[in-house]
Structure formats: C-alpha cells, structure tokens
Amino acid sequence: MKSHQLVYQILARENDYVSGEKIGEELNLSRTSIWKAIQRLQQEGLEVDSIKNRGYKLTQGDLILPELIQENTNLTIRYKPETKSTQTDAKEGIEAGNKGNTLYLSTCQTAGRGRFQRPYYSPSQGGIYMSLHIQPNLPYEKLPSYTLLVAAAVCKAIKNLTMIEVDIKWVNDIYFKNKKIAGILTEVMTSVETGLVTDVIIGLGINFSIADFPDNLKEKAGSLFMAPAPISRNDLISEIWNCFYNTDSDELLYIYKERSIVLGKEVTFQLDGKFKKGLAKEISESGQLQVELEDKHTIWLNSGEISLTSW
C-alpha cells in the first residue's frame, strides 16, 4: 500500500489524536512523509484535524482500499478513483478477456446510469459505485434473479455491520427512512452460438454518507449515514459480496420479501399504456411481482415502474 493509505489505516482505527512520532515509528516514515500523506488524504476529501503536540485525528470520511477488499472477499478488484461508469468498465474488461468474479470499483462516476438510462447521481465523495462481473454460463430461464439476491445481500450486510434495517422497493431500489439510498442495475450477455448467458454485470450504487443532493433529488434521495459513519466503505463493500456469495439463495429471497415495502401494499403501474391499480401479493424466485387487480384477477409483472399509493 502507499504511504497515505497506511497512514489512513492508523488514523481510522484510533478514536483520539495520534502523534506524528507514533505514526512514523510504526510505519518507518519521516515526519515529512507523514505530512505529505496527510495532505494527500485531505485532497481525497477526508477531514483530518491537526493539533500541535497532540498529532492528527480523522474526523470525517474514509478511503477506499482495493487491496483490503480483495483480501477480504477473494474477488479480483479493479479500482479507479474516478470513472465514466463502472458498468462501462466491466464491459470493457469483458472485451479485454477478464475473467468473472471481478469487481469494478470507483468513488466517483462522471456518467453513471440507472435503469432506463436515467442519470445516476454519483458525487466525488460519500458514495460507493461498483459492478460485479460473473460468468454463469446458464440458459436464461435457469438464471438466478441476481437483482433480488444482491438487494437482499445489501440488507443483510448493513444489518450485520450496524443493526440498521433497510427496505427494498421492487425490483431494484434500497430505501432507508422512506428515501432511496441505493440502486441495482443488472445486465446480461448471451452467446449467439450456444444461447447461454455467458456474462452478467451487476451494478450497485450506494449513497453511503452523502450530505447534500441536487434540488431535484432532495425529496427522493437519502444516505445511509450522516457523517461520521460508524463503519467504512471498505467494511460495507466486503460484507455485501461475502453475503452474496456465502448466503443460501433461499435465505436471500426470504430477506428480500421480509424487507419489501411493496408486498401487501396497494400499487399503481402502467400496463399496455394504461395505469392500473392493485394489491401486491407475492414475489417469485425469478423476480416477478404478483398483483391482484381491483376485479380480483391476478397478473405477474416482470419489470417496470410501480409507485406505492400508500406507504
């Protein structure tokens, strides 16, 4: 790791000020090197307080440490501090021949997109933006509902680390205190020769500790934490993918239904160009939503926009 990453790890584990002398002894760095490392951390957006004769204290922010995440997850991590889109990075990685179980990770996206190609707000500080590439090589009809599984893994990871309960809006949004804090975008690639789904890219954006949002998002978007956060982004990233890989799919589906804010609620949706209303009754293993219409007929929705008429 680089000097500023090593200095960050020391500051992150301490609750009080740490002297430059103590940091220097532990890392075998000169005071000048430590000072430069502190400057680098501040340039990265972290807030580090400094008091003469007491040392340094991390007061806000954290630093993404790709090597630590790779060690904790056994995934191959490909990290860019800033990127156009981690989904694009993953697609370029597939074209370059990169294998599955690779996580493309960034702290800032300049052209992030959600479902229906909507812009995805990705500021330079406080967010997590990542895309997991996996290679299932399965027929489409046998493909697990990765969107559901990842959404449940996010819920489980957050609860494991913080005891905070977050909710899921069908099909791909994570909510906290009635505001969206995360979204999932899953894309698949199929072989023309075999008809098998060869590659899947699961994109995940999380508002980890974002203090402010544009005016058009303030009423809709929220953040998991307000500063200071009790855990780091490294902790959450690692826990999400460990939950995804190491939790039985039946358990994840159960969590998805348990944390659903749609099931049992009246929903409105658009079908064949007309707005309809009904009661959300069930979510299938493949991610379909069963809705009982006002005339008591039931239909299954594959995807699309729904909005709750009551919370």
**Any binding-site annotation on 180?**
yes
Has 125 been labeled as part of a binding site? no
State the Cα–Cα distance between residues 131 and 101, nearest whole angstrom: 10
CA-nearest of 71, 72, 58 to 13 is: 58
Is 113 assigned a ligand-binding role in the annotation? yes
Q: Are 178 and 265 a contacting pair, CB within 8 Å? A: no
> Is 70 within any annotated ligand binding site?
no
Distance of CA 107 to the CA centre of its chain: 11
**According to the annotation, is 114 in a ligand binding site?**
yes
What is the C-alpha to C-alpha distance for residues 309 and 311, in angstroms, rounded to an integer? 7
Do 253 and 148 meet the contact criterion of CB atoms below 8 Å apart? yes
Residues making up the annotated binding site for biotin are 109, 113-115, 180
Residues making up the annotated binding site are 109, 113-115, 180
